[in-house]
């Protein structure tokens, strides 16, 4: 498994999670690479198989091949900070088919990932986009922005299909692993909605501001934020199923569930999560150790930088990176039908 983190100091960090002595209880984070890939702070990262991408305040997306620990190119279609990234990898494949990005000027860009070719830019918000989430089908994406609105983007037709005002600005939006529900974060509140009609199922109160969230298997939702802890919410009851208090000494800025789509293949543990904090520390936890007074992380790495985001995936897939020339917008319908 691999983890990729971005920092305020422009550095991208890559790690591989390895087991020691064939024991799942003894793990280590082995560095893959570290270098200043952007000329401004990194805002977002995404990983699918051995493919990785980072978006920065320099309006640029950088691409990486984790199997070679190398940067392979750049995408420069955005004209504002790249605030969110997401790969679409159709199951059971972990190799990406598409890359979707969002920026601080309200635009969503769609790319083919084999080779990396720009297909379409869609204006989904009047102000900057805070986050995006691609449905497991790959046919649509949800975005939330600084205009206090929720938008749905039809990735097949390449246009915005839904737009509504929220009662408050949302900073995070995520589909669950099945795509039947989605979550939105508004400061310390996390709301769970039905995907079909956006009906509110229930609202979770974290007490402190939530800065990152990741859906897991078994109906769990993992959150981290200003309380410096990690919580696993049971989305069927709306209660906290597991919690690690003071998981970090600073704010938790990124969280990754080390299972997800890999769990069906037996790769990963649905209770194993990785977290990154603004003091530069990345830790791997077994969320079930919360019964202990002070649980110890399974693995830890210190980057000595101000981390801003974290992403992770399995490295099992065989992916050959390709870069292509920019295409015109008409190519979207043909390529997106393959989703």
pLDDT digits (tens, 9 = 90+) for 68-125: 999 999 999 999 999 999 999 987 777 899 999 999 999 999 999 988 999 999 999 9
For residues 186, 191, 192, 195, the Cα torsion angle rounded to the nearest 10 degrees is -50
Check residue 339 and give its pLDDT: 31
Cis check for the bond before 92: say yes or no (omega within 30 of 0): yes
Evaluate if residue 141 carries a pLDDT over 70. Answer: yes
pLDDT digits (tens, 9 = 90+) for 302-334: 999 999 999 998 655 445 566 665 433 333 332
* Of 31, 30, 87, residue with least CA distance to 54: 87
Report the C-alpha gap between 110 and 327 in whole angstroms: 11
Q: How many CA atoms lie within 13 A of 89 on its CB side?
A: 23
Check residue 333 and give its pLDDT: 34
Report the C-alpha gap between 283 and 302 in whole angstroms: 9
For residues 158, 262, 1, 230, the Cα torsion angle rounded to the nearest 10 degrees is 90
Give the other-Cβ count within 10 Å of 298's Cβ: 23
Name, in order, each residue with C-beta under 8 angstroms of 243's C-beta and a sequence gap of 6 or more. Answer: 229, 230, 231, 232, 290
pLDDT digits (tens, 9 = 90+) for 191-215: 999 999 999 999 999 999 999 999 9
pLDDT digits (tens, 9 = 90+) for 22-53: 555 678 999 999 999 999 999 999 999 899 99
Query: Residues for the chain: how many in total?
Result: 339
| Sign of the four-CA dihedral 58, 60, 66, 67 | negative
Whole-prediction pTM: 0.87
Report the C-alpha gap between 148 and 167 in whole angstroms: 7
Report the C-alpha gap between 315 and 50 in whole angstroms: 5
CATH code of 2-313, in short, is 2.130.10.10
Q: So where are the chain's domains?
A: 2-313
């Amino acid at each position: 498994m691999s983890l990729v983190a971005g920092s305020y100091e422009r550095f991208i960090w890559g790690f591989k999670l390895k087991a020691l002595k064939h024991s799942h209880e003894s793990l280590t984070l082995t560095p893959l690479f570290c270098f200043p890939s952007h000329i401004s702070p990194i805002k977002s990262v995404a990983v699918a198989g051995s493919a990785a991408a980072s978006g920065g305040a320099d309006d640029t997306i950088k691409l990486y091949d984790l199997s070679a620990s190398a940067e392979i190119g750049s995408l420069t279609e955005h004209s504002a900070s790249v605030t969110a990234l997401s790969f679409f990898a159709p199951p059971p494949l972990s190799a990406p088919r598409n890359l979707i990005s969002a920026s601080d000027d309200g635009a969503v860009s769609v790319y083919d990932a084999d080779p990396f070719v720009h297909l379409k830019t869609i204006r989904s918000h009047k102000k900057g986009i805070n986050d995006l989430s691609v449905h497991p089908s790959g046919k649509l994406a949800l975005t939330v922005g600084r205009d206090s609105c929720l938008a749905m983007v039809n990735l097949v037709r390449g246009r915005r299909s839904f737009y509504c005002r929220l009662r408050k600005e949302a900073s995070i939006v995520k589909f669950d692993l099945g795509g039947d529900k989605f979550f939105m974060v508004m400061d310390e509140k996390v709301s769970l909605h039905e995907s079909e009609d956006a009906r509110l199922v229930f609202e979770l109160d974290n007490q402190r501001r939530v800065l990152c969230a990741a859906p897991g298997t078994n109906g769990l939702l993992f959150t981290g934020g200003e309380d410096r802890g990690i919580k696993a919410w049971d989305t069927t009851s709306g209660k906290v199923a597991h919690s690690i208090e003071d998981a970090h000494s600073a704010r938790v800025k990124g969280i990754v569930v080390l299972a997800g789509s890999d769990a069906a293949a037996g790769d990963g543990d649905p209770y194993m999560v990785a977290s990154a904090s603004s003091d530069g520390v990345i830790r791997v936890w077994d969320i079930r150790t919360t019964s202990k007074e002070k649980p110890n992380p399974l693995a830890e790495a210190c980057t000595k930088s101000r981390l801003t985001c974290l992403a992770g995936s399995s490295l099992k897939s065989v992916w050959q990176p390709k870069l292509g020339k920019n295409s015109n917008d008409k190519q979207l319908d043909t390529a997106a039908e393959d989703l």
